[in-house]
Structure 1
Amino acid sequence: MDGVNLKRDKLTVGDVLKNALRSRCWLKYAIALATPLILMLLLLAVCQRNLFNFTPLWSDELGYWHETNTAVNRGLFSNNSGYFSYLEIPTNLLFYGAHGIFIIIPYYLIGIVLGWTTYTPLIANIIFMTAAMLLFARITRNTRHTAILAVLLLFFNYFLMYTISPPCRRRCITPAAL
């Protein structure tokens, strides 16, 4: 490596912030951070509800919530955790029905950290969608693309009703992963 200077200039946090403010890249991150939270607040305002008063209502919500509650309180691999399978027939390996254990793990980890209440899935969904939006903002080079996605999400009923409101795991994690 003759003739190659491997020394790099040291960047400070102030330098990074100045460059970000000059390039306006902070705007796309602000949009990405705010979009899921704004959507949740809009949905709660329209429904005249409070985040902390949420209760799972229909069968899938109740089942998914209870599976995660059981995993958080009893452990993922406990034999004393009940069965969540077709007709509640015991299985030989795991107790989590056709969808398996992997869809529970992200919610389980959040439940371990935050505690598992009736509104924890909503907070988890906000976390997942915010992470997906931040990743999208990081990948895209254009602030306009991030803003367009945020506006489109405001009008996309599937996103509003199934990824933010009910704690249906597959309906939140799948669009976040896409």
Structure 2
Amino acid sequence: MSLVEATLARIPQPYRDMAFRHRELLKFAMVGGSTWVIDTAVFLILKGTVLAEKPLTAKIIAVLVATIVSYVLNREWSFRTRGGRERHHEALLFFLISGVGVAVYSAPLAASRYLFHLQVPEVSLLTQEVADFVSGQILGTLVGMAFRWWAFRRFVFPEKDVRRQVAEQV
């Protein structure tokens, strides 16, 4: 029994059926949660050290690192039965969409810092750090994940059960 099946077995009915129907979304959310931790750790480390004066650059690098991990986990786990494209084409689309995702993820932080001026000396250091976290790590992540869920299913992994069918034919 796989980890997903074991987890689903513990969920009471009727929620189990709903979770089973949306297991791809749940896997995507779990990958997103894992890559959020990676993104957050890289962002905070970079912002607290070598990129202290460049939080937007730190955020972009953090998202890029998380995106590489995301491709591997999404392809091999979340969307493992989806496909319909050659692997190099699929990877190119994934990273192009993720590039747009970087802009989507970064937009709330950019607005917080440069539009609303939530940065020292206009606000306290505590206010700046809270605003950076909320806008960069919470709002940016939610908006970015919604965009990526839609775009990955629509463009990168458009066909259902393609890889499962190939595996069964072999």
Shorter-normalised TM range: 0.3 to 0.5
TM-score normalised to structure 1 length: 0.33
> Which structure has the larger Rg?
1
More helix by share: 2
User: TM-score of the superposition, structure 2-length normalised?
Assistant: 0.34
